[in-house]
Structure 1
Amino acid sequence: MKKNLYRLVLPILFIAMAGCSNAEDINSPVISKTHEGDVSLTQTQTLEAPQSKLNCAQFNLDSVDNMVCTYWKDSKKFNETIKIQDYEIYSSLIEVQELSPVEYNFFATIEVYYKNEKYKAKVFPNSRVDLSDGNKVLNLICNKGSCSKPFLWGFATESNIKVNPKLADVTMNKLSYIYNYNYKKYLRDKNSQVVRNEIAVKVYFNNPHLEDTSYVIRFVDKAAPLKNAIKEYLNGLAVEEKNLGFESNNFGNDSFTVKIEDNTAKIHFTANDLTTDLWSSQQVIDFSHPIRMTAEQFSTVDKTEICINNSYNYQMAFLANAESIDCPF
């Protein structure tokens, strides 16, 4: 799935995948049993944890799917023993009007004996295991807290989401949790680094996935930290930072001057082509705010003034056709 598809489809897909709650928080059944006479689950049978395999690189995943898959792999949750006797089995997922995807973009694999037959098992992150012997497929679904440990979230049906609407938010919350988890790890790694003759500065960018105002860490020359920090914003985002969910809203600003007077940072940007690079008022806001946050991290700066293309009231001049006021610095 592409990132834009995530944004368009997630409100529906999250409802689809939310299920029996975050697999770490699941406490109650979410699927009613059907076809109980088809299969006997009285004998204790498990998927042996040491044999479970998950290789995210084998799948053609976009950045978001890869992030979730990597989190699942690193958490070792998929290696938790899967107790088949705690699962419910359905001859067809359609028969329970399931909303969770039948095939997810990635899965762990294992070979298992079930009812004296050997199966290849696919373990999906949404509380589902499918067993295949080459001729038939058995779909097993976790419907209890006792079997939820290996999974990231539960399996959903339309009926249980209607009964408990809060279940619709579980997958979105899990995705947000993973973004915040990865970001905290990123900060720990960066804060432990030391670069000779350089200092670490915060460069603020927008990140809709994080709970608080967010920034990336860059190492710059000690001689002019404010100027270098602003330059780092214009340099854009590294792949690692994009994978953390950061976004740049620069609209063609590629050069600037900066000075500090009376504890005020005065920054004058030059943008190349506003007709193609600037398309919304929100973009201007999402550019200006991170610049101010980046500048005001320094003890010598109490406030920030910004001009763009010699316009002091650039927001109104660019987007509301107001008469431009010349930049006073």
Structure 2
Amino acid sequence: MKKTLSIAPMMDWTDRHCRAFLRLVCPSCVLYTEMVTTPAILLGKTPERYLGFSALEQPVILQLGGEDPEAMARAAQVARDYGYTGLNLNCGCPSPRVQKGRFGACLMQTPALVRELMDALASSGLPVSVKHRLGLDRQEDYASLARFVETVSAGACQHFIVHARNAWLKGLNPAANREVPPLRWDWAAQLKQTYPHLRIELNGGLRTVDQVLGQLPGVDGVMLGRAAYHQPLLLAEIELALGRRATLPTPAELLCALEDYAGPWGETLPAPRLTRHLHGLYYGTSGAKAWRRYLGTARPTESAWAFLQRSRHWQEAEMVASSPSRWSHERCR
């Protein structure tokens, strides 16, 4: 099976508009939703708010959070009917709110329950995966991680996405949990060696093309999170390095494609709901600061399509002076 490049589920970030933008950047990427809890699906009055997505995003996988196998099975059926291509269980989030619900990272304390939850998800007929940490708090023991994977894989789940840090349930907030616990990429590769029949993907701390290329031979895929969000064209650079595309997209080309995406939404998509995901579009270029300032002009009463139309004038004013030949090539036709 081809090694995968995927974009991590990120709460409050990877909504449907973010995913549509990242799909335009990276056609070969596997996309994941934000975590959606089973009560939000089963008890909410508007499941479309949590589950809606566009055909552009496919393949897109729904990440679920919960601790009740029966509810998980019901939510999985709803997700299947919505057209998702797979389901993922969150066993990595350490936030206090998630801990209060007894799911997320604290599920690693009960691998037998995780197996039940994965079997419940698999009852939908969709492919399933689990995203988990190396361990909890300061328990830094590969053998415990291996026992977790072995127990869960005795059921339906054969796909593990390894966030290669521990989750500290006390003493660190979610942001610090992504930085303070030490990275151990080698543990993911070791899992692949221990269980070669399982699909093992690596997540956590990958920020450069060289890091991705260096880790990919030892695992079945890599998942990028905040680096992909803040530097979206990094995804295209990885695709190029993997031979999955011939050229890199330009920011102007991506903005043109976003016009096509935003157009059918009309006035129902306010500009800020899309533009909040575009701050990294010009990352690393001389126009990056000016672009971020320009994004601040997006008005809540303005449609995303109208803002993108207006952005053509910004591009011409900011970019043509420094590189007129490039502008003539990049501008929307």
Sort the TM-score into its range (normalised by shorter chain). Answer: under 0.3
Q: Which has the higher helix share?
A: 2
**Structure-2-length-normalised TM-score:** 0.22
Q: Which has the higher strand share?
A: 1
Which of the pair has more CA radius of gyration?
A: 1
**Structure-1-length-normalised TM-score:** 0.23
